[in-house]
Amino acid sequence: MAEVNWTALIIFVLLFAFITWLGFAAAKWRKGDLDQLHEWGLGGRRFGTIITWFLIGGDIYTAYTFVAVPALAFGAGAIAFFAVPYAILIYPILFLPFPRLWHVCHKHQYITAGDFVRGRFGNRWLALAVAITGIVATMPYIALQLVGLQVVIAGLGISGTGYAGDLPLIIAFIVLAAFTYSSGLRAPASIAIVKDLLIYTTAFVAVIVIPIQLGGFGKIFAAVPPAKLLLAAPGANTTGAYGVYATLVLGSAFALFLYPHSITGILSASSGRAVRRNAAILPGYTFMLGLLALMGFFAIAAGVSALPEYAAGFKQFGNNFAVPALFLHSFPSWFVGFAFAAVGIGALVPAAIMSIASANLYTRNIHREFFNRNPSDREEAQMAKWVSLIVKLGALVFIIFVPTQYAIYLQLLGGILIIQTVPSVMLGVYTRWFDDWALLIGWAVGTGVGCWMFVAAKLAPSYPLAIGGHTFPGYTALYTAVLNLLVVVVLTPVFRAMRAKSAELDETVAADYRA
């Protein structure tokens, strides 16, 4: 690995120290009793439009987004740009069902999607399935934030073997664990403001300066191999890459806001109106995402694969080191420190929210439901704090002892898993017609078939579905979500005929869903 870049390292450490102080100071921001779970885990549900914008944006546009999207463009080309239309479609989806979800959760003091499902359908096993799905889907996501942090630490020239090599990551974990335990959701909410300002600045400077250095956008696109500029044309009797692209866009859009960390950000808003406003203004992040994707092409045009900076990091991080190498090549050390701090802080914000969201799910829908039915407010909050530490520790151990590629595979599987909660959560805010046991069976079928497809496709997120002599390669998550819903629709009338209608188990009423 390259020598330590001391100037960049000092800038990085100073900014990291600032957000560490900010994370602890956040405990006194909009002060509340952090021995109550809704105060610790949802910030007291008091974040207005602007703070919610930074929080949700910081939640879904992560360090790994900053690293992986341009890396995919660098390695695979045009397919990486599925992230742009997908990040456009998510906001109409946010606008429609999620203000309704906010209203009913606020009315009944629900803290998780599992709480909502438990109240709506009266089935604790269905709520357990939603909770376990959320936790399992989120864990590798946390691990990948730490991968993003590893990449920039390596870019600073800090390396080593054994525990010495992992020490910077362990220190970052301790900092993250400490301020999350101390301040709850207030910590990532306050840090998200700094993180987004840093990332926006970095993205805009890069998209102006690097094209000037490379001779303009015309030369950049001329340097990109034609095969990477366009999707491969489909052959006979197949939708080819077009089908994969389209289904990735649609499936990812439906899955994103079902992740526990996304729902936590939404439920922390002060009103349903704040959620709707964010559906209108969050697309500003999509513009930035398009700029980030372009950096993969910048890296190709700059000949990053031949740079010593890239060779230093390639063995461990592969294409994920393309953007750090591009920045090391293109900018002075002080700006490299600034940009790498943006990515590093961009890892801490979502990792903190994800661990809090997972802790909320375990505490409310597993521990409270099956182990301690009547905890005090303090006991409930304390349990969530401890679980948030365990979740982060699990992610750290995973990254240190398990090859990074496995975390990537599991994160891809996470999208297939979390989309199975569409019928019970997203559609559940509109209708109680679905039978709770039909929903549980549909979830089990979708999850089981999704895992089988994922393994059959050799751990790829797309599956070549063959129907009547035609092949439709597509995102496994979307295919299995449709299967899940079909099972629910077929079984609901059957179960309704077998037993009395269970609407009386619904804790909610129509007025609770005003949006």
Mean pLDDT calculated for residue range 452-473:
91
Query: Lowest-confidence range among 57-61, 401-405, 448-452, 467-471?
Result: 401-405
d(CA 261, CA 193): 17
Say if CB 142 and CB 314 are below 8 A apart.
no
Lowest-pLDDT choice from 295-299, 321-325, 422-426:
321-325
Weakest-pLDDT range from 157-166, 427-436, 506-515: 157-166
- Rg, the chain, Cα only: 23
| The pLDDT of residue 1 is above 50 | no
What is the number of domains present in the chain?
1
Q: Is residue 387 part of a domain?
A: yes
For the domain that residue 331 is a member of, what is the CATH number?
1.20.1730.10
Quote the pLDDT of residue 82: 87
**340-379 residue pLDDT tens:** 999 888 888 888 999 999 999 999 999 999 998 889 989 9
**In a domain? residue 503:** no
Q: What was the pLDDT predicted at 313? A: 65
Q: For the residues 221-225, what does the mean pLDDT come to?
A: 93
Low-confidence winner among 164-168, 285-289, 507-511 (lowest mean pLDDT): 164-168
Question: Tell me, what amino acid is at 233?
Answer: A
Q: Is residue 505 part of a domain?
A: no
H-only helix segments in 44-123 = 49-60, 63-76, 83-95, 97-108, 113-121
- Mean local confidence (pLDDT), 370-398: 90
Contact 12, 166 (CB under 8 A): no
Q: Which two tokens stand for residue 142?
A: 């946390």
Q: What is the DSSP letter of 233?
A: P
Phi first, then psi: give them for residue 374, nearest 5 degrees: -130, 65
- Sorted by sequence, the CB contacts under 8 Å of residue 92 that are 6+ apart come out as 279
Judge contact between 154 and 1, C-beta under 8 A.
Answer: yes
Confidence of residue 412 (pLDDT cuts 50, 70, 90): confident
Write the DSSP symbol of residue 234: P
Angular region, 160: left φ>0, alpha ψ -120 to 50, beta rest: left
Q: Write out the residue range of the structural domain in which residue 270 sits.
A: 6-409
Q: What is the pLDDT of residues 168-203, one digit of tens each?
A: 788 888 888 898 998 999 999 999 888 888 988 998
Query: What integer pLDDT is reported at residue 97 of this predicted model?
Result: 95
Which is more confident, 500 or 108? Answer: 108
Residue 162's pLDDT band (cuts 50, 70, 90):
low
- The confidence band for 504, taking pLDDT boundaries of 50, 70 and 90, is low
Residue 465 lies inside a defined structural domain of this protein: no
* 460 falls within a domain: no
| Residue 46 domain flag | yes
Task: Determine the Cα–Cα distance for residues 213 and 128; give it in Å rounded to an integer.
Answer: 54
The answer to whether residue 145 is domain-embedded is yes
- Range from 285-289, 307-311, 314-318 carrying the lowest mean pLDDT: 314-318
Residue 260's pLDDT band, with cuts at 50, 70 and 90, is very high
- Which strand (E) or helix (H) includes residue 463? strand 462-467
pLDDT over 70 percentage in the chain: 96
Instruction: Give the pLDDT score at 141.
Output: 85
Three-state secondary-structure class, residue 62: coil
Specify the higher pLDDT residue, 205 or 168: 205
Measured between alpha carbons, how far is 296 from 76 in angstroms, rounded to an integer? Answer: 10
> Model-level pTM?
0.92
pLDDT band at residue 305 under the 50/70/90 scheme: confident
Q: Is the pLDDT of residue 502 over 60?
A: no
What share of the chain in percent tops pLDDT 90? 54
Could you tell me the two tokens for 375? 């905890």
Average pLDDT, the chain: 89
pLDDT > 80? residue 406: no
The arithmetic mean of pLDDT across residues 210-223, rounded, is: 94
State both tokens at 510.
């129509």
Does residue 438 lie in a domain region?
Answer: no
